Amino acid sequence: MRPATVSYGAEVVATATQDSELTDPQTILDLLPQGVIVVGRDWRISYANPEADRMLGATGATLWERCPALEHAAFASGFRYAMADRTELLTESVLPSVGWCQARALPTPEGGLLISLRQVHAHTIETGQARAALLLGEIGDALTREDSLRDALRRCADGMVRNLDAALARIWTVDAATQTLQLCASAGIETPLDPAFARMRFDGHKIGAIAEDGFPYLTNDVAVDVHVGRSEWVRREKIAAFAGYPLRIEDRIVGVMAMYSRRKLDHDTLNGLSAIADALALGIASKTADEARRAAEAALRKHAADLEVLHELGQQLTAVLDHEALARKVADATTRLTGAEVGAFLYHATQGQTEGQLGHALAGGPHAVILPDLAANTLREPRTVRIADLVTQGGAVPTGDAALASYLAVPVIGRSGRTIGALAFGHARPRMFTEETERLIESVATTAAIAMDNARLFQEARDLITALENSNRELDQFAYVASHDLKAPLRGIANLSQWIEDDLGDRLDEQSRQHLNLLRGRVVRLENLIGGILAYSRAGRGASEQASVDVDALVAEVWELLAPPATARLEVATALPLLRTHRVHLQQVLLNLIGNAIKYNAERALRITVAAQRNGRRWEFSIADDGIGIAPEFAEKIWGLFQTLERRDKVESTGIGLSVVRKIVESHGGKSWVESELGRGATFWFTWPAEGEEVPRG
């Protein structure tokens, strides 16, 4: 049965000898000052002596489960090599919980390994140089394997105490931004740490002077030294020697190493400390560069992630025009950007909601529900608020729920200077939001304000369009009813005049007959005028669907509908396009322009020429005639409502046709004009959409 505790002194050996147990192999293995462990080919442990349990641990079925630190030492690759190649191996490395160790691995016939482990103690090495060399190995291993610089330096300080028999070892690094020394590692005796030693200026204490001057400071007479011997703990611990070294990389100081010892330092130890300082300096520079690289990579990854979120948010802000949906998108995206646990977007109600009502969108966990109350202050006083810890610094806002520590609120201010809302964020950990976070959210808030303004304008425009559509429907209904109600008595007047003429017959004199004809003509003119007004009110607002329109065939159809006199002829001077457009609208334009040319030149030979030419995204159509022409001073007047250049007794006209043409053309984004001289004919021009509406022939 194994003893509960094991002594490796002569007394145990003597006792075992007296009990005649020294010849027992089990007893011998138990008493060995070396760890012995046997593993199978699957690395399962079949035997471990007490020293192996002390060095590697006593729990775990496999070697790697029992001592996970082996994976981070050179032993792991060595043992696997010995297992795979069935060869003997001798290797050395550091076990963090033990120190520098030597291991020998021997293959067993069963396919496993017999492993012996021996701790290399500083006191077993005779010279200071050898102890320093052992320490250099530990320092190299710590600086290579530890991810954190502080963890690596703590192992280095522990190694200095253990291998050099130091009472206290400390390592500071230089903060280049503030030109101060920061204490990163301390090992050895417990001493009250003066806060000034945790972060010290170069002109404070001898440690700072070592960094500033760049020279070591060594003494074997600490008791009378005015620089390092004045502390009470130095006298209490009977400190005899002090060695302080600047940690230098070329002409740059990266830190300071200091060691206190109860015995005087010999020449070999001092030489070893110089080499140790060089190794620490290289390690600090390398670790600092690695940490800076990792920090830069992390910042780059965060920046890339932020850009992705901003790009996604930008697309959403341009695509979403609903206030509530937009607020949810902004709250979700900004919460991700800040790294907050919870976020909220509190905003003023849009038109159509109750006056003074506030809407909000929440993101994150259940504690987000308290953010709107906190953000209400930012709506009242639109300024950014960033609090490191609500519990200790919550005077600027209501402290709310203790589940939140970090707090950030940013106002969302529109283009008019009106406060649209506020973005608020919270985190359970303090000091989570930085100045960079604040600037980022302020820039996003500006973009969100524009999007919210646009959403508001879109909503207002949509409401206006709805109201306009309702108004147009009412006007259409009114125009139809008015047209019907006005035409009905006119038709009665016309019928009555015809009945009077029929009843009187031959008794009606010629003058009375002319008066009745004039009355009926005025009735027709008034009916046409009413019809023209109705057509003008509806011009360009027809709900007809787009269709494929052959303009050449449409012109021919219009010509037939007008039934022109034999003295008029039509020519198509150019190929006319095939368009996808509103057929009725284009037909109304052609009917009015060609019809006017016929109407105002009814008693003379007339040639009407239709042509078209492509001009960018539009077609330019022209309807030219060789008729009486129009004086240039009337070129714009004729497009007005109820405008006609001939007396209505001479040419029956309502003066509305060209107004209808211009209104239809402009509703399609085009323009219309006339080129003419009196007595030389007239050419009427109008443009019509081509790009996106034109279709290929055939």
DSSP string, 587-639: HHHHHHHHHHHHHTTTTS-EEEEEEEEEETTEEEEEEEE-SS---GGGTTGGG
Each residue's pLDDT tens digit, 502-551: 777 777 787 877 777 777 766 665 666 566 556 555 555 555 567 888 99
The DSSP annotation for 279-331 comes to HHHHHHHHHHHHHHHHHHHHHHHHHHHHHHHHHHHHHHHHH---HHHHHHHHH
Which class would CATH give 32-120? alpha beta
Domain boundaries, given as residue ranges, for the chain: 32-120, 128-293, 320-538, 541-689
> Whose structure tokens read 């060399």?
133
Each residue's pLDDT tens digit, 456-484: 788 788 888 888 777 767 666 666 666 65
Element (H, E) at 685: strand 682-689
CATH of span 128-293:
3.30.450.40
Q: How far apart are CA 396 and CA 383, in angstroms?
A: 11
- Predicted local confidence at residue 359, as pLDDT: 85
Cβ neighbours around 508 below 10 Å, total: 15
**683: confidence class by pLDDT, cuts 50, 70, 90:** very high
Are the beta carbons of 27 and 21 closer than 8 angstroms? Answer: yes
More confident residue, 329 or 392: 329
Q: How far apart are CA 465 and CA 473, in angstroms?
A: 12
Name the burial class of residue 384, with classes exposed (0-12), middle (13-18) and buried (19+) by CB atoms within 10 angstroms of its CB.
Answer: middle
Q: In the structure encoding, which two tokens stand for residue 425, read together?
A: 């964020």
> Which residues pair with residue 579 across a beta bridge?
549, 694
> Whose structure tokens read 């070591």?
216
Q: How far apart are CA 327 and CA 362, in angstroms?
A: 9
Nearest to residue 95, comparing CAs of 48, 42, 137? 137
Nearest to residue 89, comparing CAs of 101, 97, 77, 98? 77
- Predicted local confidence at residue 170, as pLDDT: 93
Residue 393 — φ and ψ, nearest 5°?
-125, 25
Are the beta carbons of 498 and 513 closer than 8 angstroms? Answer: no
Question: Which SS3 state, helix, strand or coil, does residue 516 take?
Answer: helix
Q: How far apart are CA 273 and CA 128, in angstroms?
A: 10
Report percent pLDDT > 70 for the chain: 82
Are the beta carbons of 403 and 450 closer than 8 angstroms? Answer: no
- pLDDT(498) > 80: no
Residue 196: what residue type? A
CATH of span 320-538:
3.30.450.40
Each residue's pLDDT tens digit, 292-312: 888 888 877 877 877 777 777
> Whose structure tokens read 């007809």?
544
- Predicted local confidence at residue 595, as pLDDT: 85
Contacts (Cβ under 8 Å, ≥6 apart) of 645: 630, 634, 638
Q: In the structure encoding, which two tokens stand for residue 257, read together?
A: 């190493």
Nearest to residue 337, comparing CAs of 372, 312, 373? 312
For residue 88, CA distances in Å to 113, 155, 651 come to: 9, 31, 123
For residue 338, CA distances in Å to 104, 300, 331, 407, 642 come to: 54, 15, 11, 11, 66
Q: How far apart are CA 552 and CA 51, in angstroms?
A: 107
Each residue's pLDDT tens digit, 332-382: 988 888 889 999 999 886 644 444 578 888 998 888 888 888 888 888 888
What is the DSSP pairing of strand 113-119 with strand 35-39?
A: antiparallel
Each residue's pLDDT tens digit, 119-136: 876 555 555 556 777 788
Contacts (Cβ under 8 Å, ≥6 apart) of 581: 546, 547, 549, 668, 688, 689, 693
| Contacts by residues 360-367 (CB-CB < 8 Å, ≥ 24 positions apart) | 360/327, 361/324, 361/327, 361/328, 361/330, 361/331, 362/331, 363/328, 363/331, 363/332, 363/334, 363/335, 364/335, 364/340, 365/341, 367/341, 367/342, 367/401, 367/403, 367/404, 367/426
**65: confidence class by pLDDT, cuts 50, 70, 90:** very high
Highest-confidence segment of 192-201, 326-335, 628-637? 326-335
- pLDDT(647) > 70: no
**9: confidence class by pLDDT, cuts 50, 70, 90:** very low
Q: How far apart are CA 275 and CA 294, in angstroms?
A: 28
Q: In the structure encoding, which two tokens stand for residue 239, read together?
A: 């400190």
- Please state, rounded to an integer, the average pLDDT across all residues of the chain: 80
- Predicted local confidence at residue 243, as pLDDT: 92
- Predicted local confidence at residue 416, as pLDDT: 81
What is the DSSP pairing of strand 419-427 with strand 406-413?
A: antiparallel
Q: How far apart are CA 611 and CA 621, in angstroms?
A: 6
Least confident piece of the model among 39-43, 631-635, 667-671:
631-635
- pLDDT(98) > 80: no
pLDDT mean over 65-72 = 85
| pTM, 2 dp | 0.44
Q: Identical fold at 32-120 and 320-538?
A: yes
Q: How far apart are CA 25 and CA 7, in angstroms?
A: 17
SS3 content of the chain, % helix, strand, coil (to 5): 50, 20, 30
Strand locations in 322-396 (E): 342-348, 358-364, 385-387
- Predicted local confidence at residue 3, as pLDDT: 35
Q: How far apart are CA 512 and CA 651, in angstroms?
A: 23
Report percent pLDDT > 90 for the chain: 19
- Predicted local confidence at residue 583, as pLDDT: 82
- pLDDT(494) > 80: no
Angle value at C-alpha 366, between 361 and 368, nearest 5 degrees: 45
CATH of span 541-689:
3.30.565.10
Q: Which residues of 53-64 are buried (b: 16+ CB within 10 A; e: fewer)?
A: bbbbeeeeeebe
Residue 347 — φ and ψ, nearest 5°?
-140, 155
